[in-house]
């Protein structure tokens, strides 16, 4: 654990139990998302190295899906 993370944990330990739980849950969610993000980057690099790319139509479909999800939020 690096020094900054240790300082954050020490600060969180001083908070009420319910806030500790909330912040711990948020840290775990963020850590999981970071792992997924880094894995997706690695997969993308592997695909590019292997010459696997999506078509323009597939790319547009994905962009439309992401936009629809953003609009729904």
Give the per-residue pLDDT at 68.
94
Gyration radius from the chain CA atoms: 19
pLDDT tens, 4-48?
999 999 999 999 999 999 999 999 999 999 999 999 999 999 999
Residue 43 tokens read as 């997969």
Contact between 56 and 62 under an 8 Å Cβ cutoff? The reply is no
| pLDDT of 1 above 90 | no
């Amino acid at each position: 654990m690096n020094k900054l993370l240790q300082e954050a944990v020490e600060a969180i330990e001083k908070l009420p139990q319910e806030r500790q739980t909330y912040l711990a849950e948020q840290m775990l969610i963020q850590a999981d998302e970071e792992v997924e993000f880094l894995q997706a980057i690695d997969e993308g690099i592997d695909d590019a190295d292997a010459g696997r790319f999506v078509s323009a139509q597939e790319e547009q479909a994905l962009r439309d899906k992401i936009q629809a999800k953003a609009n729904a939020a």
